[in-house]
Amino acid sequence: MENLQQEEKPVEEQAQQEKTDWVRFALDIVETILLALVLFFGINAISARVRVDGFSMRPTLEDGEFILVSKLNYRFGEVERGDIIVFHYPLNPSQELIKRVIGLPGDHISVKDGIVSVNGQKIDEPYIAATPLYNGEWDVPEENLFVLGDNRNDSSDSHSWGFLPFQNVVGKAVMIYWPPPLWDIIQHKQLLVTQ
């Protein structure tokens, strides 16, 4: 009888140990899921990931590249001419576009004979695919930007659909992260004014 009690005790301990192991396993899963959610929402609060779709930013960005976008830059700083930004397209806010900022509020933009001027001064643009084949003049209103694609003649941008409201800006493009051979920090050329 004594042997029977000794055999039952380890079985009970083993059952209790298995129950404890399952509880620990379940808690580990819950902790992992909670940490993943915190990281997911935290990362999405400060950044976005966008796929370049099309050729409007050639040669700076190519079709199919994935871009990391900082949502914090313009919460703590100002938009500058030359910044490459991602924004909700004003004519279809569910669509995101990527373009370069050319004009800020109050700027007068002129495109004539292939030359882009801001406030009467030609800007130096070594990053464009070709000079624009269109002409026009625009005065950028308050709370708006004037944006153009680097592939000026194959880009749907402010020259064709108008100004970009600040409220549509998602953030500043920071780096190309896919495909890996093309990893690179995106250079935001400050628009140099030439005489």
The residue with greater pLDDT, 180 or 191, is 180
Report the distance separating Cα 121 and Cα 16, nearest Å: 81
**What are the tokens at 74?**
């313009």
What's the pTM value of the predicted model, to 2 decimals?
0.77
Computed over every residue of the chain, the mean pLDDT equals 85
Q: Which candidate, 16, 62, 21, places its Cα nearest to that of 178?
A: 62
Among 47, 71, 94, 99, the one annotated catalytic? 99
Among 56, 70, 155, 158, the one annotated catalytic? 56
Per-residue pLDDT at 181 exceeds 90: no
Q: Judge whether 158 counts as a catalytic residue.
A: no
CA distances in angstroms from 190 to 17, 62, 73, 165, listed in the order given: 65, 21, 16, 21
Q: Judge whether 56 counts as a catalytic residue.
A: yes
pLDDT in tens, 32-51: 888 877 777 766 666 677 88
pLDDT in tens, 82-136: 999 999 999 999 999 999 999 999 999 999 999 999 999 999 888 898 999 999 9
For 51, phi and psi rounded to 5 degrees?
-100, 130
Per-residue pLDDT at 192 exceeds 60: no
Using the structure block, give the residue that is written with the tokens 């910044």: 83
Q: Please name the residues in contact with 119: beta carbons below 8 A apart, sequence gap of 6 or more.
A: 107, 108
pLDDT of 118 reads 96
Instruction: Identify the band that residue 27 occupies on the pLDDT scale cut at 50, 70 and 90.
Output: confident
Instruction: Identify the band that residue 22 occupies on the pLDDT scale cut at 50, 70 and 90.
Output: confident
Mean pLDDT in residue range 137-153: 96
Mean pLDDT in residue range 137-165: 96
Q: Report yes or no: 116 and 125 within 8 Å, Cβ to Cβ.
A: yes
Per-residue pLDDT at 73 exceeds 80: yes
